[in-house]
Amino acid sequence: MSTNPVNPVTPVNPVTQALTFEINGEPVTAAPQPGQVLRSLLRDLDHFEVKKGCDSGDCGACSVLLEGEPIHSCIYPASRLEGAHVTTVAGLGTPEHPHPLQQSFVDAAGFQCGFCTAGMIVTASTLTENDKADLPRLMKGNLCRCTGYRSIKDAICGVSNTDRPADGASAGSSVRAPAGLRVATGTEPYTLDVTATGLLHLAVLGSPHPHARIVSIDTSAALALDGVHAVLTHRDSPATLFSTGRHEHRTDDPDDSLVLDPVLRFRGQRVAAVVAETVAIAQRALRSIVVEYEVLPAVFDADLARSPGSPLLHGEKSAAESRISAPERNTIAQLHGEMGDVDAALAAADEVVSGTWNTQRVSHASLETHATRGWLDKDGRLVLRTSSQVPYLVRDELCHIFGLDTERVRVFTARVGGGFGGKQELLTEDLVTLAVLATGQAVQYEFTREDEFTIAPTRHPVRLNVTVGATADGTLTALAVDELMDAGAYGNHSIGVMFHGVSESLSIYRCANKRVDAESVYTNNLPSGAFRGYGLGQVVFAVESAMDELARKLGIDPFEFRRRNSIVPGDPIVVTDPHEESDLLYGSYGLDQCLDLAEAALLRGNGASAPEGWPVGTGMAMAMIASLPPRGHFAETTIELLPTGRYSISVGTAEFGNGTTTVHAQLAATALNTTADRMHIHQSDTDVVGYDTGAFGSAGVVVAGKALYSGARLLAARMVERAASLGFAGGSVVPEGVRVGERVIAASTLLENGPLLAAGRHDGTPRSIAFNVHAFRVAVNPASGEVRILQSIQSADAGTVLNPEQLRGQIEGGTAQAIGSSLYEEMTLDGEGRVLTKAFRNYRVPQMADIPDTEVYFASTHDDLGPLGAKSMSEAPYNPVAPALANAIRDALGLRPQELPMSRDRLWRMVERARASTIRRA
């Protein structure tokens, strides 16, 4: 038994002092709390343009000017502000009169989610012309998770990458993001960027143990504190089991979680929540909660966890009811399948490669942390404003957990500051719901950056054994994968990630004999979840590494080896079961072009030379991805003509930097022969359309976009019909209305006989496949383990390219995130479930200096299934990067790295050990 230490804080009135200073030239008087920082004071004063990305001075999203000098406002004591002059991004310019840099960020498409943009612009505004040669150093205090920095460098240097297309010519051109100037001037509101009165704040007491049962919990002292409105524990929790992972079918994920559970299965899991008038009061009150724990045995290694005798995490649950494959051995999901005879094929093969690959735990590191604000509207309906990729799925699951009717709940998002899969989870909304229902008041729960590292789900760490065999002529004859995934304490996404991970990574190969053994296993580590690529990246890393080694042994060029063994139209798309029912089709096929494009670019080179004495190598890898998730992804959209000739669009899917809003406007503008800036888009709100499965699985363009495009075409036809009914037959839609001969029937005239609108719907089936090939030329310093990327190339088969600059940005951003996972990023745990890397300063999200420019090439294909021939391309660019880099490093060093990240210390050690063993042999 253990009891947490009680540390009640003697209430002493804080010493506050009224200060007078200026914000953007306006005098302000405020009395900050003694320990308050400038960032939170500015936001208290409704200066929401100042963002919180880390609250520790690492990311730069909160940058402001103080007396003209840039500082990080999140680490600047507000007590020093008397007489100060503070300038935020909103003080530099407005949407009507933007600062040249603000315009430049829009013109260059220098942002995706835009959460870092305010800080980027403030910092860049202090640079001189000479400084532009030194950007990586000067901008190292500003992190961007979306873009890969190339477009930010362009923005700072005044390079424009966008255009203003003519009427009806929107699709296929590099249209600017509709929110551009608002993002660049700090006026686009994100999740918490809105004033509220009487708002309560929620703070969570996390479990100090990796596995424990709450024996008793006394909240009376906390509840008695001034400003505390409620303390919620497992006694207040609904008894309905659910999963934080959200999918179209709620049965896709195991029901293994409670809003507040008396059993704690990882460090930091919610024990209790305090609802109070300020965050500080709530956080302090947590210390007054007295908890007695029964500490339970815990397991932290996935292989041990599935072995006999291991402590069980969910052993008490019903396998059938909770949909856990084998709770008696901590196994959430398993897949064992074989086609042909792998062992026989290996025995007959001329060359065989076998090895073990490991991938690490990675944080999404969206700059906007998870956050939800909830309240009851005047009709008593629950409203949640939240940072989510899936507002409809969140609404539906909350209704399931709390027994509410869907009409009684509205969930919506403002612009979301990055997702990458991390916001396909229900992490804050359930507690806010509980707190709003308990208090009747508005409640906000905002994750800290430390929360993001310690309790938000991460990318799955995976161990993969891969064996591949081929005949001397280069025919792949055997492919076997054995995968073990550390799911952490809860099973959110661990089923889907496992099945998806071994899917397109293997079905891309035409091979008569394949075997898969995959298991996803509970441990008392923090949960793993959905991450860009959804399991593919880990498996692609291992399989593409093994294929590279196999090609090497066979003496065949790696591009050529892929050409011989990858599927081509007509081949079945099969993992191990040729009879599996699938809606996956060759809507188009561009892998051949992707291989050619990347190979040609690599041969062409780019003139970059290696430092003296560093060996150079090249490497490539390929990846395939289905254009959206299986078994249904639904979108409903509406589009309506406005009297001004503009259009009002309603879509359910969310914008978090994926750029779907831009593409939606382009698709509608193309169908209606107008320009994208005439589209008003209402989105990601359960009140605006009937339903949308959500923004995941790269579905924003191919599902919601396709639905919208068909709705817009229908509306165009209806406008022409309406004109005909007014006596003007044979017309066509133009920006002002309908043109018939020389005459234009204005939108306002068309609308005199009633509204004109159309709905579009798509059910996400059948699905197509898309391809990416990445190639690198690198130099490696064997003496230090440093990798210098001399050339980075990615070719993509995205079907019709709807917005070239945005697509390039997605590919660069995916590449940058993958370079982070490949070389730098690593969440380290202490072996007992304690996360050691709890801040950006200890977790290397790539800085500008770490990311080379990537040459991006598009295959020329037209997809039969996607809107205007387009395919999705937002997760996919991430997947081939790590193995391409590993293969290039292998080529340079003659040694193969098989563990991510391929950090300098690991590569150095690999070289040192090889040298030591050579010396021993000699």
Partner 1 sequence: MDLIDVREIRVPTTRNEVRFAPGEIPLGGGTWLFSEPQPGVFGLVDLTALGWEPITITDDALIVSATCTIAELLRLPAQEGWVAQPLFAQCVNSLLASFKIWNVATVGGNICTSLPAGALISLAASLDATAVIWYAGPSGERRMPVSQFVLASRTNELAPGEVLRSIEFPLDHLRSRTGFRRIALNELGRTGTLVIARLDETGEVVFTITGGTTRPRQLRFDALPSATQLAAAVGSITEWFTDAHGSADWRAGQSARFAEELRIELGGTS
Residue 487 near residue 460, CB atoms below 8 Å? yes
Q: Which stretch binds partner 1 (CB under 8 A): 161-169, 575-583, 790-798, 837-845?
A: 837-845
Q: What is the rounded distance in angstroms from the CA atom of residue 509 to the CA atom of residue 500?
A: 15
Q: Give the phi and the psi of residue 919 in degrees, each rounded to 5.
A: -65, -40
Q: What is the rounded distance in angstroms from the CA atom of residue 653 to the CA atom of residue 706?
A: 12
Among residues 22, 24, 28, 75, which is the contact residue for partner 1, using CB under 8 A?
75
Which of 71/106 has CB closer to partner 1?
A: 71
**662-691: buried (b, 16+ CB within 10 Å) or exposed (e) per residue?**
bbbbbbbbbbbbbbbebbebebbbbebbeb
User: Is residue 914 at the binding interface for partner 1, with CB under 8 A as the rule?
Assistant: no
Least distance CB 319 / partner 1 (angstroms)? 39
Which of 525/795 has CB closer to partner 1?
A: 525
User: Is residue 786 at the binding interface for partner 1, with CB under 8 A as the rule?
Assistant: yes
What counts of helices (H) and strands (E) characterise the chain? 27, 32
Q: Which stretch binds partner 1 (CB under 8 A): 451-459, 525-533, 692-700, 841-849?
A: 841-849
User: Is residue 34 at the binding interface for partner 1, with CB under 8 A as the rule?
Assistant: yes
Q: Directed axis angle between helix 391-402 and helix 429-439, to 10°?
A: 50
Q: x/- site string to partner 1, residues 339 to 358, per CB under 8 A?
A: --------------------
User: Is residue 783 at the binding interface for partner 1, with CB under 8 A as the rule?
Assistant: yes
Least distance CB 784 / partner 1 (angstroms)? 6
User: Is residue 125 at the binding interface for partner 1, with CB under 8 A as the rule?
Assistant: no
Residue 24 near residue 84, CB atoms below 8 Å? no
Q: How far is CA 816 from CA 167, 496, 796, 804, 841, in A?
A: 35, 25, 15, 18, 18
For residue 557, the tally of other CB atoms under 10 A from its CB is 14
Among residues 844, 895, 899, 914, which is the contact residue for partner 1, using CB under 8 A?
844
Among residues 823, 873, 876, 882, which is the contact residue for partner 1, using CB under 8 A?
823
User: Is residue 53 at the binding interface for partner 1, with CB under 8 A as the rule?
Assistant: no
Q: What is the rounded distance in angstroms from the CA atom of residue 608 to the CA atom of residue 177?
A: 33
Q: Which stretch binds partner 1 (CB under 8 A): 12-20, 299-307, 618-626, 667-675?
A: 12-20
Which of 288/674 has CB closer to partner 1?
A: 288
Among residues 3, 31, 97, 140, which is the contact residue for partner 1, using CB under 8 A?
140
Report how many residues bind partner 1 under the rule CB under 8 A.
66
CB under 8 Å to 492, separation ≥6 — which residues? Answer: 243, 244, 245, 253, 257, 425, 457, 527, 529, 530
- What's the one-letter identity of residue 3? T
User: Is residue 828 at the binding interface for partner 1, with CB under 8 A as the rule?
Assistant: yes
Residue 796 near residue 832, CB atoms below 8 Å? no
Q: Give the phi and the psi of residue 33 in degrees, each rounded to 5.
A: -65, 150
Q: Which stretch binds partner 1 (CB under 8 A): 76-84, 600-608, 759-767, 877-885?
A: 76-84
Q: Which stretch binds partner 1 (CB under 8 A): 75-83, 370-378, 766-774, 801-809?
A: 75-83
User: Is residue 905 at the binding interface for partner 1, with CB under 8 A as the rule?
Assistant: yes
User: Is residue 815 at the binding interface for partner 1, with CB under 8 A as the rule?
Assistant: no
Structure tokens at 458: 């991460």
User: Is residue 336 at the binding interface for partner 1, with CB under 8 A as the rule?
Assistant: no
Among residues 29, 69, 727, 920, which is the contact residue for partner 1, using CB under 8 A?
69
Coil, helix or strand at residue 725: helix
Among residues 103, 123, 525, 653, which is the contact residue for partner 1, using CB under 8 A?
123
Q: What is the rounded distance in angstroms from the CA atom of residue 618 to the CA atom of residue 606?
A: 13
Least distance CB 80 / partner 1 (angstroms)? 8
Per CB under 8 A, contacts with partner 1 among 431-460 are 448
CB under 8 Å to 604, separation ≥6 — which residues? Answer: none
Residue 554 near residue 631, CB atoms below 8 Å? no
**313-322: buried (b, 16+ CB within 10 Å) or exposed (e) per residue?**
bbeebeeeeb
Residue 190 near residue 51, CB atoms below 8 Å? yes
Which of 70/694 has CB closer to partner 1?
A: 70
Q: How far is CA 720 from CA 44, 212, 500, 738, 753, in A?
A: 51, 67, 45, 6, 13
Q: What is the rounded distance in angstroms from the CA atom of residue 536 to the CA atom of residue 878?
A: 9
| 270-276 and 200-206 beta bridge pairing | antiparallel
CB under 8 Å to 612, separation ≥6 — which residues? Answer: none
Structure tokens at 653: 């899917």
Longest dimension (CA), the chain: 96
Among residues 366, 433, 507, 847, which is the contact residue for partner 1, using CB under 8 A?
847
Least distance CB 430 / partner 1 (angstroms)? 25
User: Is residue 897 at the binding interface for partner 1, with CB under 8 A as the rule?
Assistant: no
Which of 55/396 has CB closer to partner 1?
A: 55
For residue 26, the tally of other CB atoms under 10 A from its CB is 10
User: Is residue 915 at the binding interface for partner 1, with CB under 8 A as the rule?
Assistant: no
Q: Which stretch binds partner 1 (CB under 8 A): 177-185, 334-342, 365-373, 902-910?
A: 902-910
Among residues 13, 128, 130, 195, which is the contact residue for partner 1, using CB under 8 A?
13
Which of 36/162 has CB closer to partner 1?
A: 36
Among residues 31, 166, 717, 836, which is the contact residue for partner 1, using CB under 8 A?
836
User: Is residue 843 at the binding interface for partner 1, with CB under 8 A as the rule?
Assistant: yes
Residue 337 near residue 513, CB atoms below 8 Å? no
User: Is residue 55 at the binding interface for partner 1, with CB under 8 A as the rule?
Assistant: yes
User: Is residue 111 at the binding interface for partner 1, with CB under 8 A as the rule?
Assistant: no
Among residues 76, 589, 656, 696, which is the contact residue for partner 1, using CB under 8 A?
76
Which of 244/525 has CB closer to partner 1?
A: 525
Per CB under 8 A, contacts with partner 1 among 588-627 are none
Least distance CB 679 / partner 1 (angstroms)? 38
Q: What is the rounded distance in angstroms from the CA atom of residue 229 to the CA atom of residue 233?
A: 14
Per CB under 8 A, contacts with partner 1 among 142-171 are 142
Q: Which stretch binds partner 1 (CB under 8 A): 134-142, 465-473, 478-486, 544-552?
A: 134-142
Q: How far is CA 195 from CA 118, 246, 373, 517, 542, in A?
A: 19, 29, 11, 52, 49
Which of 819/873 has CB closer to partner 1?
A: 819
Q: What is the rounded distance in angstroms from the CA atom of residue 710 to the CA atom of residue 701?
A: 12
Q: Which stretch binds partner 1 (CB under 8 A): 77-85, 166-174, 563-571, 871-879?
A: 77-85
| H helix or E strand, kind and range, residue 857 | strand 855-858
Among residues 56, 354, 475, 606, which is the contact residue for partner 1, using CB under 8 A?
56
For residue 156, the tally of other CB atoms under 10 A from its CB is 25
Q: x/- site string to partner 1, residues 275 to 294, per CB under 8 A?
A: ----xx--xx----------
User: Is residue 12 at the binding interface for partner 1, with CB under 8 A as the rule?
Assistant: yes
Binding site for partner 1 (CB under 8 A): 9, 12-15, 33-37, 40, 55-58, 60, 63, 66, 69-72, 74-77, 79-80, 123, 136-142, 279-280, 283-284, 448, 783-786, 823-824, 826, 828, 836-837, 839, 841-844, 846-847, 849-850, 903-905, 908-909, 912
